[in-house]
Structure 1
Amino acid sequence: MIERILKKFEEIQRQYARDYCDFERGEFDLGYFYNERTNVSLLAGAVWRENPTDNLVLEEYSSDKEGEDASDYKGRRDLWFRAGGTQYRCEAKQKWVDLETVTKADIDAIIDLAKSEAETIEERYLRPRNEALGIVFATLRLKRKNQQKANEWLENFNRLIDDSCCEGLIIHSVIIDEVLTAGGDSNLHPGVVVFIWSRSAR
């Protein structure tokens, strides 16, 4: 189910890039470039698109949270959705990743962040058919002077991801190839990689 939603997320990102970028001139308007909130909204759109008649979504919804002293307080969660009969409660973050300098330690830190975001969802909400998702949108960037090495850097990035994969982790890459060959003189942001850590009730 999550994989199907991520495919819709990719479709939306590509549609937005196609409709609002002039790649020849190097004029970019990329959905994933903005911030965490924007990427969450595009993910919510992907949930709706995956099954418009059955899926449901709430963004920035009010929720009881558990404080350090075990008392509850009112807070907000980034995303709730129902898909395929399962409810998902989500916390999300965005990180910038420099392709020229990224290391395995950086990838491991992103995965740890996804895990920690999933752990913030209170256990009492994880009944059967409920899951907690920690989501990190890793937005990629590359200096213009390194444009000719873009594919090399991306291959290295993918190798680092392969070395860090583990059970419970879902990864989906959205790479806009037109960005890699675009004109202009600004730095490049060729895509976003979504890291999702999923956990159920213990």
Structure 2
Amino acid sequence: MEDDYLEIRQDKLKELSKTLKIWIRNIKQFSKDFENDALYWYNERASLSVFAGAVWLSGGYALEEFSATKGSLGEEWKGRKDLWFCLNQQEYIVEAKFKYQSFSPQAKIFDKIKQTLNEACSDAKKSVEKDNISLGLCFIAPYLPKSKEKDMESLIESLKKELLKIDYDFLAWIFPEVSGRLSYPKNNIPIFYPGGVVLGKIA
């Protein structure tokens, strides 16, 4: 059963609504066009490119992996930032993390995703561009062993409840119907990857 969700809690980030809707739409369409593939199950860099593509398609500009100044004022160094983007003249600096996360009953979903988002925000705080909004982004590829297939729907509902408890500024997810049983072996064990999640928080 296909399901998507979008919530923006922080007024400063309302401009991201169109971008996140396009992010959801693009993942859906890709899953339809490429039956045995998905945009959400790769890695951090690939996930950032999908997000950056949504920025461009929503009328903004985006630049990935660029040289920039890091640190706090008075203690600065040259480094690389994951993503810069601009929407309606507001600029954003992003540091991102990607995590494969089990949503089996034993998994500590809340703690692990919260920690990953906090790590992204910690990195984003190293931005010294005072007029930009610094964002921590957390991309999640939830997975479940094939042995739990019969419980898939109920466990996805439990996953959603855990996600909604996290202290985020925006959250979006998409579980495309066409890729709901998409699997890939991990240690020779079939693993299902039913959807993708992105969380963001101002650092």
TM-score by length of 1: 0.81
Runs of 4+ in 1 over 6 A off after TM superposition: none
Q: Highest CA radius of gyration, 1 or 2?
A: 1
The answer to whether residue 21 in structure 2 is matched with residue 7 in structure 1 is yes
Q: CA deviation at 1:163?
A: 2.4
Structure 2 residues without counterparts, runs of 5 or longer: 1-14
The answer to whether residue 193 in structure 2 is matched with residue 189 in structure 1 is yes
One of 29, 45, 60 as aligned partner of 2:37: 29
After superposition, the Cα gap between the structure-2 partners of 1:196 and 1:184, relative to the gap in structure 1 and judged at 3 Å, is: closer
For 1:183 and 1:47, the matched residues in 2 are separated by: 29
Q: CA deviation at 1:82?
A: 0.8
The answer for the alignment partner of 1:118 in structure 2 is 124
Q: Number of residue pairs matched?
A: 183
The answer for the alignment partner of 1:65 in structure 2 is 70
For 2:184 and 2:67, the matched residues in 1 are separated by: 43
Q: Which piece of structure 1 moves more, 107-116 or 133-142? A: 107-116
For 1:111 and 1:15, the matched residues in 2 are separated by: 27
Corresponding letter in the other structure for 1:109: Q
The answer to whether residue 182 in structure 2 is matched with residue 177 in structure 1 is no
Structure 1 residues without counterparts, runs of 5 or longer: 22-27
Corresponding letter in the other structure for 1:187: I
CA contact under 8 A between 1:139 and 1:191: conserved in structure 2?
Answer: yes
TM-score by length of 2: 0.81
Between the two proteins, what is the percent identity of the paired residues? Answer: 26
CA contact under 8 A between 2:95 and 2:121: conserved in structure 1?
Answer: no
Corresponding letter in the other structure for 2:67: S
Q: Comparing both structures, which one devotes a greater share of its residues to strand?
A: 2
Corresponding letter in the other structure for 2:53: G
For 1:62 and 1:136, the matched residues in 2 are separated by: 21
What SS class does the counterpart of residue 90 from structure 1 fall into?
strand
Corresponding letter in the other structure for 1:10: I
What SS class does the counterpart of residue 43 from structure 1 fall into?
helix
Name the structure, 1 or 2, with higher relative contact order (CA <8 Å, separation 6+).
Answer: 2
Q: CA deviation at 1:182?
A: 5.6
For 2:78 and 2:183, the matched residues in 1 are separated by: 48
Q: CA deviation at 1:4?
A: 1.7
